[in-house]
Amino acid sequence: MTARVTPYLNFGGNAREAMEFYQSVFGGTLDIATFADLHRAESAAQERLVAHSMLKGSAGVILMGSDTPTPEEHKPGGSFSVALGGDEADLTEYWGKLSEGGTVTVPFATSAWGALHGQCIDKFGTAWLLNVTANLTA
């Protein structure tokens, strides 16, 4: 059996903008369905909100996301980070885009364990942890 973990991000009314931003970072295809599309809107205000979205990035990154049905109840952040590992060139590019307009909590630099490592919270409140491991030996 194969298991896969896919982050499912929640937003307070700006899921479409956030997921389109992640598509600009990771490339690939993005599918979006609103509450109206799925006939789940309980009010006119919910119709335009994203009920479900899925980004299949060109390098294998998969993210899903939606708006909370009541955006004012959304609580950004939480006790998690989306971790990305891979080649230096890709992660350096991702870092630049994800950290722009956000908050850098750990600068993207050589870590104590020898990898390039950085942490940030993007402009949509999602915490990211990037770690370049391609050149490390076991």
CATH code, domain with 26: 3.10.180.10
Q: pTM of the full predicted structure?
A: 0.90
Confidence at residue 138, expressed as pLDDT on a 0 to 100 scale: 42
Confidence at residue 33, expressed as pLDDT on a 0 to 100 scale: 98
Neighbour count for residue 132 (Cβ, 10 Å):
24
92 domain residue, yes or no: yes
45 domain residue, yes or no: yes
63 and 12, same domain (yes or no): yes
Cβ-contact 65, 50 below 8 angstroms = yes
- Domain holding 36, by residue range, is 8-69
- Please, what is the end-to-end C-alpha distance for the chain in angstroms? 27
56 and 96, same domain (yes or no): no
64 and 37, same domain (yes or no): yes
Final residue before a domain boundary, out of 21, 47, 69:
69
Confidence at residue 95, expressed as pLDDT on a 0 to 100 scale: 97
75 domain residue, yes or no: no
Q: How far is CA 115 from CA 56, 59, 100, 110, 130, in A?
A: 26, 20, 22, 5, 10
